[in-house]
């Protein structure tokens, strides 16, 4: 994944982009097709929901969108685990992405609603 980015908008965008690139490299077979579909949805949703949270107008909406980002990052880690099992030769790459997904989950878990910019 490269150097850590501390701008969360940029970091979540890079995570989604790296998931897209990774998925493009996986073998196109019956098992991977469904796993990749699920990972793409979860991995790109992390940043999309963070961006929505960042632009939210209410604390309630902010909290809800952050919780979705947290859920999607946890789900990304799960699908990466499944892809690793289905593609043992790619497990070290999956581990890198899973680590980033875990870190994002921890970050989203620690964001209090007072962080809202409004």
Average pLDDT across each block of 10 residues of the chain; the chain has 118 residues. List them in order.
73 98 97 98 98 93 96 98 98 98 97 57
In angstroms, the CA 48 to CA 68 distance is: 10
Residue whose token pair is 């579909």: 37
Structure tokens at 97: 């992405």
Residue 118: what pLDDT? 45
Residue 1: what pLDDT? 56
Residue 5: what pLDDT? 53
Backbone angles phi, psi at 13, to 5 degrees: -65, -45
Q: 62: which residues sit within 8 A by CB, 6+ positions away?
A: 53, 56, 113, 116
Q: 40: which residues sit within 8 A by CB, 6+ positions away?
A: 19, 20, 23
In angstroms, the CA 69 to CA 43 distance is: 9
Residue 3: what pLDDT? 58
Q: 82: which residues sit within 8 A by CB, 6+ positions away?
A: 35
Structure tokens at 54: 């960042």
Tell which CATH classification among 3.80.10.10, 1.20.1440.60, 1.10.3210.10, 1.25.40.10 matches the domain 8-115.
1.20.1440.60
Residue 112: what pLDDT? 72
């Amino acid at each position: 994944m490269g150097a850590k980015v501390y701008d969360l908008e940029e970091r979540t965008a890079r995570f989604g982009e790296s998931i897209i690139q990774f998925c493009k490299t996986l073998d196109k077979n019956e098992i991977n097709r469904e796993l990749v579909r699920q990972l793409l949805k979860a991995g790109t949703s992390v940043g999309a929901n963070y961006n929505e949270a960042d632009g939210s107008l209410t604390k309630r909406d902010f909290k809800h969108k952050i919780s979705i980002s947290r859920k999607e990052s946890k789900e990304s880690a799960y699908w990466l685990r499944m892809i690793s099992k289905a593609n043992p030769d790619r497990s070290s790459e999956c581990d890198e992405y899973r680590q980033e997904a875990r870190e994002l989950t921890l970050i989203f878990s620690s964001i209090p609603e007072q962080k809202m910019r409004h």
